Amino acid sequence: MLTAEEMIVPITAENLDDCVNAFLKAYNGPPWNYNWTYDRARKYLSEYTECGQFVGFVLYDEGQIVGATLGHIKTWWTNDQLMIDEFFIAGEKQGMGYGKKLLAFWEQYAAENKIGSIILMTNRYMPSYGFYNKIGYTDIEQYVFMFKPVF
């Protein structure tokens, strides 16, 4: 349940820069400690927003961005799926319940739009894995994320 100071709105060109700033706060600090530049992060997030089936929301609290989720709708033979491509909460706001609120909104969106499932990928060895398990996401044994470095 959102408080009176919180709001969740669709990601648009007008709030994309806010998303980039929260993304940098989330991933350039612990536990990921990446080295995203602003321009590279903006390009990365823009690649999602420019997708024809894009769905994305940003969570604000007291006018400040807290986090965002970006994804797309994927057609599947049983029913559509909502793929979470990127989900982040600004570093200083993690552990305060914002992630649960944003994903609950995502689930509400899926239900209202008759989307049968939500799918995401995460790293088993990062805190996000435990977070997703705690709120009802499960491993699917038959699926494997595969990777091959080229250089």
Superfamily of domain 6-134: Gcn5-related N-acetyltransferase (GNAT) (3.40.630.30)
Cis-peptide into 30, omega within 30 deg: no
Q: What angle do CA 98, 56, 121 make, to 5 degrees?
A: 75
Residue spans per domain, the chain: 6-134
The pLDDT value given to residue 141 = 74
What's the chain look like in SS3?
Answer: CCCCCEEEEECCCCCHHHHHHHHHHHHCCCCCCCCCCHHHHHHHHHHHHCCCCEEEEEEEECCEEEEEEEEEEECCCCCCEEEEEEEEECHHHCCCCHHHHHHHHHHHHHHHCCCCEEEECCCCCCHHHHHHHHCCCCCCCCCCCCCCCCC
Which pair of tokens denotes residue 27? 């991933």
The pLDDT value given to residue 123 = 65
Question: In angstroms, rounded to a whole number, what is the distance separating the alpha carbons of residues 43 and 60?
Answer: 22
Higher pLDDT, 24 or 129: 24
Condensed to tens digits (0 to 9), the pLDDT of residues 90-138 reads 888 888 999 889 989 999 999 999 999 888 776 676 667 666 677 777 7
Question: In angstroms, rounded to a whole number, what is the distance separating the alpha carbons of residues 70 and 75?
Answer: 17
Condensed to tens digits (0 to 9), the pLDDT of residues 25-69 reads 999 988 889 999 999 999 999 999 999 999 999 999 999 999 999
The pLDDT value given to residue 1 = 79
* Phi-psi group of 33: left, alpha or beta (phi > 0 → left; psi -120 to 50 → alpha; rest → beta): left
